[in-house]
A and B are shown apart, each in its own frame.
Chain A
Amino acid sequence: EDQVTQSPEALRLQEGESSSLNCSYTVSGLRGLFWYRQDPGKGPEFLFTLYSAGEEKEKERLKATLTKKESFLHITAPKPEDSATYLCAVQPSGSARQLTFGSGTQLTVLP
């Protein structure tokens, strides 16, 4: 059974204080690993897709990396507007059912 575990559950940072969010996964063959951002009362918003170990992708202050067992979302010099819940999801290969989600990390960036 596919499993996705995110840590920490919640993270509070001061503005400018860099940190990383973790996503550990167990899947029988990985087709893709996805990161989403979710603001309160809204649907998840796509950030990145990673396909193979060693891959990295960047967008503004965010950088996502992937190994064979986990992914990290690095946040460099965060701003208050980066406050949101960050969701990780995996898609197993050979499946049409698509995504299995983790329960998310709630990030708060204080000014």
Chain B
Amino acid sequence: NAGVTQTPKFQVLKTGQSMTLQCAQDMNHEYMSWYRQDPGMGLRLIHYSVGAGITDQGEVPNGYNVSRSTTEDFPLRLLSAAPSQTSVYFCASSRTTGAYEQYFGPGTRLTVT
């Protein structure tokens, strides 16, 4: 199993550009989520999904869209990039919404200039 994979690993965008961060898992997990990690602020939840076709907002959803058409994939879309979105983004998955450990991907480091 590859676990949770993310692409790209690094990305530089100009303000106003849009892009999609890809996330896939091969563990048949129901629950998937996106976090951003900023220095001194810990991991903050952006959006999450409890199953295919079901998504909801986390703590910091503004400026981001998600969809979940399959169990395996959970892409994160930046609609119009802003410098405040410069961060490291992590995708995670877990078996269900119960108290099960989350498995994290390797992250995408995004810089918006």
Segment at the B interface, from A14-22, A44-52, A57-65, A66-74? A44-52
Segment at the A interface, from B13-21, B62-70, B77-85, B94-102? B94-102
Asked whether, in the complex, the Cβ of A87 is within 8 Å of the Cβ of B43, the reply is yes
Residue numbers in A under 8 Å from B45 (CB-CB): 97-100
Task: Give B26 Cβ to nearest chain A Cβ, in Å.
Answer: 16
Instruction: Check A78 for interface membership: any CB of B closer than 8 A.
Output: no
Residue numbers in A under 8 Å from B90 (CB-CB): 43-44
Asked whether, in the complex, the Cβ of A44 is within 8 Å of the Cβ of B104, the reply is yes
Contacts between the two chains (Cβ within 8 Å), count: 61
Task: Give B61 Cβ to nearest chain A Cβ, in Å.
Answer: 11
Question: Which residue of chain A lies nearest to B97 when distances are taken between CB atoms in the complex?
Answer: A96
Asked whether, in the complex, the Cβ of B99 is within 8 Å of the Cβ of A101, the reply is no
Asked whether, in the complex, the Cβ of A42 is within 8 Å of the Cβ of B107, the reply is yes
Residue numbers in A under 8 Å from B107 (CB-CB): 41-43
Checking A43, A45, A97, A101 against B48 with a beta-carbon cut-off of 8 angstroms, the contacting residue is: A97
In the assembly, what is the distance between CA of A31 and CA of B102, in Å? 14
Task: Give A44 Cβ to nearest chain B Cβ, in Å.
Answer: 5
Asked whether, in the complex, the Cβ of B97 is within 8 Å of the Cβ of A101, the reply is no
Checking B44, B92, B99 against A51 with a beta-carbon cut-off of 8 angstroms, the contacting residue is: B99
Residue numbers in B under 8 Å from A42 (CB-CB): 106-107
Interface size grouping (class) on chain A: 20 to 34
Known: A42-B106, A43-B92, A98-B33. 19 other contacts (CB 8 A): A4-B42, A31-B99, A34-B102, A41-B107, A42-B107, A43-B107, A44-B43, A44-B104, A46-B102, A46-B103, A49-B100, A51-B99, A96-B48, A97-B58, A98-B102, A99-B45, A100-B45, A103-B42, A104-B42
Q: Which residues of B contact A (CB under 8 A)?
A: 4, 31, 33, 35, 40-45, 48, 50, 56, 58, 90, 92, 94, 97-107
20 A-B pairs with CB atoms under 8 Å apart are A31-B98, A34-B101, A42-B106, A43-B4, A43-B92, A43-B106, A44-B104, A46-B103, A51-B99, A87-B42, A96-B31, A96-B50, A97-B45, A98-B45, A98-B48, A98-B97, A101-B42, A101-B44, A102-B42, A104-B42
